[in-house]
């Protein structure tokens, strides 16, 4: 029987609660799925044993101190903390935590950061020469402070050898699921995703934002309602003429209003949403490309090819090979 995989998570004042509890819950569900088979042992460690107050005001309990971590471990998982000011959000980088990470990282099979925990890995020198991601709001800070790192602010997580970096908030669940898939297989990871009532197990190359979330909220409620209608009726007639008629505007005036409110044209927005839907179908189903094209409103395989190449620079078949979720 394989040995228990030890996951060590440092906790410190102001640490983001979900950065710690999100992955820990995924590992716990994986243990439940495996039954008596070996799974994960999660240890919370702090400067000293005892209570640590998180950013949410709730307290975690460190069972071990930094000085008590010795010997090999499977995964060092580093959460982050944010300082919020009127000028914006910045990642908190604690020198004592950074020094401990640099000391213990060589003992770990892999090193993982969640959200702005990437800034701690960077300060410890663990991301030098690597591509990494972090929460979009601090990506510029990470890039400016560490020019030796290639910072990609878009993906939900990035793997570079034995070092994994993840984006913020809910993406920590996707990252933890990817770790479970690597360790215990896709079937266990997908079962955990279902137990967590997650929409699907997203792969790392996906964007931190869906198309609707990547656009600013409109000042006009009718435009926001139209955007949701587009998402719900991708296989319908979403031409600018039809959408303008629904808004009771001339096509020319509708195009001006839509661009002002969303920053893009109606046609470009509709195509982006349809490509996002096509990506989900390519990831999660074995539907033929013709069916995928029809279901997401692109109509033909030729149009599907053209739209994916334009939006994400690849073909439907190549995308499916890279991101297909094994059922």
DSSP letters, 211-230, are: HHHHSPPPSSHHHHHHHHHH
Confidence of residue 208 (pLDDT cuts 50, 70, 90): very low
pLDDT tens digits for range 227-267: 889 988 999 999 999 999 999 999 999 999 999 988 889 99
Beta carbons within 8 Å of 163's beta carbon, 6+ residues apart = 110, 111, 112, 121, 126, 127, 130, 132
pLDDT tens digits for range 38-94: 789 999 999 999 999 999 999 999 999 999 998 889 999 999 999 987 777 899 999
Chain mean position to CA 261: 27
Asked whether the predicted pLDDT for residue 278 surpasses 50, the reply is yes
Asked whether the predicted pLDDT for residue 139 surpasses 80, the reply is yes
The neighbouring-strand residues paired with 151 are 132
In 3D space, the residue among 208, 215, 217 whose CA is nearest the CA of residue 136 turns out to be 208
Confidence of residue 215 (pLDDT cuts 50, 70, 90): low
* Mean pLDDT to the nearest integer, 104-128: 97
Q: How many CA atoms lie within 13 A of 248 on its CB side?
A: 1
Sheet holding 157-160, edge to edge: 64-65, 40-46, 5-10, 73-78, 108-113, 163-166, 157-160
* Mean pLDDT to the nearest integer, 88-108: 94
CB 8 within 8 A of CB 74: no
- Residue 60 sits at the vertex; the CA angle it makes with 54 and 63, to the nearest 5 degrees, is 140
Q: Where in the chain is the domain with CATH 1.10.10.60?
A: 211-323
* Mean pLDDT to the nearest integer, 10-29: 95
In 3D space, the residue among 215, 291, 294, 226 whose CA is nearest the CA of residue 255 turns out to be 226
Confidence of residue 1 (pLDDT cuts 50, 70, 90): very low
Measured distance CA(48)–CA(37) in Å, rounded? 32
Q: Where in the chain is the domain with CATH 3.40.50.880?
A: 5-195
Q: Which residue has the higher pLDDT, 205 or 118?
A: 118
**Average pLDDT score, the chain:** 88
Instruction: Give domain 211-323's CATH architecture.
Output: Orthogonal Bundle (1.10)
What does pTM read for this prediction? 0.67
- Residues tagged active-site: 115
Above pLDDT 70, what percent of the chain?
A: 90
Q: Can you say whether the dihedral through the CA atoms of 139, 141, 143, 146 is positive or negative? A: negative
**What is the CATH number that goes with domain 5-195?**
3.40.50.880
Measured distance CA(171)–CA(177) in Å, rounded? 10
Asked whether the predicted pLDDT for residue 327 surpasses 70, the reply is no
Above pLDDT 90, what percent of the chain?
A: 62
Count of CB atoms within 10 A of residue 66's CB? 20
User: What was the pLDDT predicted at 318?
Assistant: 84
């Amino acid at each position: 029987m394989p040995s228990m995989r030890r996951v060590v998570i440092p906790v410190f004042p102001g640490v983001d609660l979900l950065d710690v509890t999100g992955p820990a819950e995924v590992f716990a569900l994986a243990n439940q799925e495996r039954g008596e088979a070996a799974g994960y042992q999660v240890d919370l460690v702090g400067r000293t044993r005892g209570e640590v107050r998180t950013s949410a005001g709730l307290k975690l309990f460190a069972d071990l101190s930094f000085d008590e971590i010795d010997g090999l471990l499977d995964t060092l998982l580093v959460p982050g903390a944010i300082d919020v000011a009127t000028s914006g959000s910045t990642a908190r980088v604690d020198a004592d935590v950074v020094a401990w990470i640099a000391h213990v990282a060589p003992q770990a099979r892999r090193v993982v950061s969640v959200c702005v925990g990437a800034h701690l890995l960077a300060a410890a020198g663990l991301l030098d020469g690597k591509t990494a991601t972090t929460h979009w709001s601090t990506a510029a800070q990470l890039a400016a402070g560490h020019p030796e790192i290639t910072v990609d602010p878009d993906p939900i997580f990035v793997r570079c050898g034995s070092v994994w970096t993840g984006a913020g908030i809910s993406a920590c669940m996707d990252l933890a699921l990817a770790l479970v898939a690597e360790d215990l297989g896709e079937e266990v990871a997908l079962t955990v995703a279902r137990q967590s009532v997650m929409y699907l197990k997203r792969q790392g190359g996906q964007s931190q934002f869906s198309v609707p979330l990547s656009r600013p909220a409109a000042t006009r409620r009718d435009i926001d309602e139209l955007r949701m209608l587009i998402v719900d009726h991708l296989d319908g007639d979403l031409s600018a003429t039809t959408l303008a008629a629904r808004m009771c505007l001339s096509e020319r005036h509708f195009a001006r209003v839509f661009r002002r409110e969303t920053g893009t044209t109606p046609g470009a927005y509709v195509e982006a949403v349809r490509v996002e839907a096509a990506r989900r179908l390519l990831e999660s189903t074995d539907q033929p490309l013709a069916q995928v094209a029809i279901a997401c409103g692109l109509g033909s395989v030729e149009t599907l090819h053209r739209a994916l190449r334009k939006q994400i620079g690849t073909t439907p078949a190549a995308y499916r090979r890279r991101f297909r979720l094994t059922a």
